[in-house]
Each structure stands twice: as structure tokens, then as C-alpha cells.
Amino acid sequence: MHAELSGGGPSNNLCNSTVTVGEHLMATETIYVYLFDEGVDCWRPIEAVHEGEDKYRIVSVNSNPEDEHREFSAGDLVVCERRRFAEGHGLVAVRRA
């Protein structure tokens, strides 16, 4: 499912999931990354760990990289900005930190 910034979108940007990083259990949040080659502006909701201020480390792995071309990948540290969707707000990755 794709979240479109100009069309339908998320109603909330927080997720109650966790991920293990090394020996630490970290809470994750849902952020959105741009998808290339979709024909329309399209964003994928993915999981990331908040690392302070506006920086997030992406932890979601793209399980279908041949078919889905994401602007950012697992392990990337990105800067996120809150953006307005049609149905609420969400954090969108805008550049590498």
C-alpha cells in the first residue's frame, strides 16, 4: 500500500513496534520514503528509529528491491519533516543526515 502526499494518506505516524539493534530493544516510528518509478508521487511507510531532533535511522528492509525503488534504504540516517497528508500528518524522509 502506498501513501500519497496529495491523495489518501496516513492518519497517524507513530507505530507501537520495536526492533533489536545490537543488544538494545528500540521503539520504532513509521516514516515515509519516496518511491521512484511509480507514475505518480508515492510514499512507502517504513519503520525507523528516532535518533534525536529530526533524524531517523531506517530499519525496514526492502523485501522487493527489483520492483520497488525507494529513495532511502535500510541503515540510512535521514532527516524527516512533518508533512500534511489528506487524512492527517506524517514524517517524510527528505534527505540524508
Q: Quick check: 61 and 55 in contact, CB under 8 A?
A: no
User: pLDDT (tens digit, 9 = 90+) per residue, 30-54?
Assistant: 999 999 999 888 899 999 999 999 9
Q: Output 20 or 36, whichever has higher pLDDT.
A: 36
Sketch the domain layout of the chain as residue ranges.
Answer: 14-96
pTM equals 0.76
User: pLDDT (tens digit, 9 = 90+) per residue, 69-85?
Assistant: 999 999 999 999 999 97
